[in-house]
Amino acid sequence: MGRLGKILLVCICCVVLPAKANESALITASGFGTTDLSIIKIKAQATMMARRAAIVDAQRNLSEQIKGVRLTGGTTMEEYEISSDVVATRVKSLLTGAFEHKQIITEGEQSISVEVVMAICLNNELPVCKNRLTLQQLQSFIENQQP
């Protein structure tokens, strides 16, 4: 494992391990979605669209914490000056066992915003985790399914 791999591993461990003792059983990530009521006239539909966007955003953020992020960048120079600078991120992950932990819906005059918190259990200490598989159990299950 190269130096970069060790640095990423340390950073992922720092992100995954929670700071507070009462949060030690969950890895959580928030996601946000919004819809414009001037475009989507039906409030129920606008709420569902914002909620779906928030769930997908939260799932991506949760995957980033568990699996990590691939960061690539490039700089193009012409005549000794930077002509373009590009940085891109990519997350490739199989997310299993995540569940919606919390949802907040905010209605404004022209928009509906939804925040969703997704979670994965690290252990079975919290009541919400009693009947759920832990992250370690899920990873073992996934590894056993691969040929």
Q: Give pLDDT tens digits along the chain (147 positions).
A: 343 333 322 223 333 434 344 456 888 999 999 999 999 989 999 999 999 999 999 999 998 888 888 878 888 888 888 888 888 888 887 788 899 999 999 999 999 999 999 999 888 888 888 888 888 887 777 677 766
Closest of 49, 19, 13, 53 to residue 33, by C-alpha: 53
Record the tokens describing residue 52, joined without a space: 């779906």
Helix 3-16 and helix 43-67: axis angle, to 10°?
A: 130
CB of 103 within 8 A of CB of 116? yes
pLDDT (tens digit, 9 = 90+) per residue, 18-48?
434 445 688 899 999 999 999 998 999 999 9
Under DSSP, the state recorded for 124 is S
Closest of 54, 53, 71 to residue 11, by C-alpha: 71
Look up residue 98 and give its amino acid.
A
Separation CA 24–CA 20 (nearest Å): 7
